Amino acid sequence: MKALSPLDVDQLFAAAVNAGDLDAVVAMYEPQASFAPSQESVVSGAAAIREMYKGFLAMKPKLSVSPNVVAQTDDVAVVTTNWGFSATSSDGKPTSMAGKSVEILRRQPDGGWLFAIDLPNGVAP
């Protein structure tokens, strides 16, 4: 399913994460998208993004999102999203996190929207 608006991207992404569907998660990104899992690390491209999400999905996370379009012009949108998830860590203990992402989304030729840049932990002040 494609995101028909910038707000749909995070909702479809969360549904894919909650279903544990790695292919659907990666499909929410442009082929050369950048993803920054931390302030010190950035990966680019579908293969690298897939690798980053394998371990996360192995924890069987339950993700909730509340996106907000900050600005949009033509085929580009800036979105911030409050998110939270609960999961089971590799040692079997429950874990949870929450944060606020900053995302650059781009409308694709088919009319759907995808992540071009995903900063799940926002930007450092």
Q: Is residue 24 part of a domain?
A: yes
pLDDT at 68 over 90: yes
Q: In the prediction, which pLDDT does 79 show?
A: 97
**106: helix, strand or coil:** strand
Q: Is residue 74 part of a domain?
A: yes
Phi-psi category of 87—alpha, beta or left, where left has phi over 0 and alpha has psi -120 to 50?
beta
Q: What is the pTM of this model?
A: 0.93
Q: Is residue 124 part of a domain?
A: no
Q: In the prediction, which pLDDT does 90 show?
A: 82
Q: Is residue 125 part of a domain?
A: no
CATH number of the domain encompassing residue 26 = 3.10.450.50
Q: Is residue 1 part of a domain?
A: no
- Is residue 113 within 8 A of residue 8, CB to CB? The reply is yes
Nearest Cα residue to 85 out of 18, 25, 22: 18
Range of the domain at 40: 6-119
